[in-house]
Amino acid sequence: MNYREEINVSKKNKEEYLSTLQDLIAKKQKDAFEARKEYAKDIIANGDKYRDEFKKMLGWPLVNETNNKIELISKEKLADEDGYSVWRMQFEVLGCLRVSGLFFKQECEEKKPFVIVQHGGEGTPELISGIYNGDSSNYNDMLERTVKYGVHAFAPQVLLWNIEQFGVEYDRKNIDGQLKSIGGSITAVEIFAIQRILDYFEKEDYVSNFGMLGLSYGGFYTLFTTAVEKRIKSAVSCSFFNKRDAVGWSDWVWQNSAKMFDDAETACLVYPRKLCIRVGDKDDLFNYKKSEESFERVKELCADVGMDWVDFEVFEGTHEFFYDDMPIERLVNDLK
């Protein structure tokens, strides 16, 4: 072909395609919000029904799976600390999947609460516990601050570690896509694994009630796992709660999820158990104003039952775990 032109001649077409696509999405998002309002109007009164729908949305293995067995593969004592010991544990679930984490066991005779402490993006159980060099980064010692209240804690490893640091390469979004193509999701797999870990510790005579807390992706897993798992009596989700229209990462959304469950509706699945939500006013990833808007939706859904079960606050800080111990202390008291 003899015709030639400068590269920027078609730039306007591309700009118009992008802008009109964004306009189209915004319109469909508004339609989805209205559909979600109608869909979830009685979610507080019918939590179990909506919980089942939520699990169907997340997919296998939260649905269509009968193998709930968990096998302890290894347990290694790492250290004796002041009042507790530290163990690295590995389990097998679903017949082949190896999951691991660090267990912080209180040295005591009586039963104690057990708290899942979940890391976020590029995190590990070792990072949040400060065992590399004493620095827990933006987790602000959240695990040590939890253990000091005399509870057992388990920090699971999920598919979020820093690839450059550990040299174990993976593509979370690609793996999530593979799982979604067969009816599951990485979220469903990792929530399922946490549930099986609860199964294991539920049988131990030193464990009483379950709680969970986490930062960022850990806040995501805290909110979603607590929505699914009714054995978790109290939870603290930090630096996640928002609106998926604003933060629609591919592993945080599902087909038609905007018509069914946004963060507000997911939070309502925790009722009447206890939920604490914290977001930073200087968070550079998630705009806290969107979090406030989402919490207004929670208030609407809870008009008939009140808000005693849930606590929301914007703290002074960035994308980090808050420094105030009050939510941790309250979680522990909820479990006693």
Q: Write out pLDDT tens, residues 72-95.
A: 999 999 999 999 999 999 999 999
Model pLDDT, residue 98: 99
Distance (Å, whole) CA 105 – CA 333 = 18
pLDDT (tens digit, 9 = 90+) per residue, 277-327? 999 999 999 999 999 999 999 999 999 999 999 999 999 999 999 999 999
Structural domain includes residue 151 = yes
Q: What is the mean pLDDT of the chain?
A: 98
pLDDT score of 269: 99
CA 74 to chain centre: 26
Q: Is residue 40 part of a domain?
A: no
Task: pLDDT band for 174, please (50, 70, 90 cuts).
Answer: very high
Peptide bond into 272 cis (omega under 30): yes
Res. 119: pLDDT tops 90: yes
Residue 27 maps to a domain: no
Residue 3 lies in a domain: no
Phi, psi of 158 (to 5 degrees): -115, 175
Q: What is the CATH number of the domain that holds 137?
A: 3.40.50.1820
State how many domains the chain has: 1
- Whether 212 is covered by a domain: the verdict is yes
Which pLDDT tens digit goes with each residue over 1-57?
A: 999 999 999 999 999 999 999 999 999 999 999 999 999 999 999 999 999 999 999
Query: Does residue 283 form part of some domain?
Result: yes
DSSP string, 232-270: EEEEEEES--S-TTT---GGG--TTGGGT--HHHHHHTT
* pLDDT of 262: 99
Q: How far is Cα 279 from Cα 265, in angstroms, rounded to an integer?
A: 18
Residue 82 within any structural domain of the chain: yes
In a domain, 123, yes or no: yes
- The model's pLDDT over 136-152, given as tens digits with 9 standing for 90+, comes to 999 999 999 999 999 99
Give the tens place of pLDDT for each residue, 94-112. Answer: 999 999 999 999 999 899 9
Would you state the pLDDT for residue 109?
Answer: 87
**Segments forming the whole domain that contains residue 210:** 45-334
In Å, how far are 30, 107, 191 from 258, measured between CA atoms? 10, 46, 21
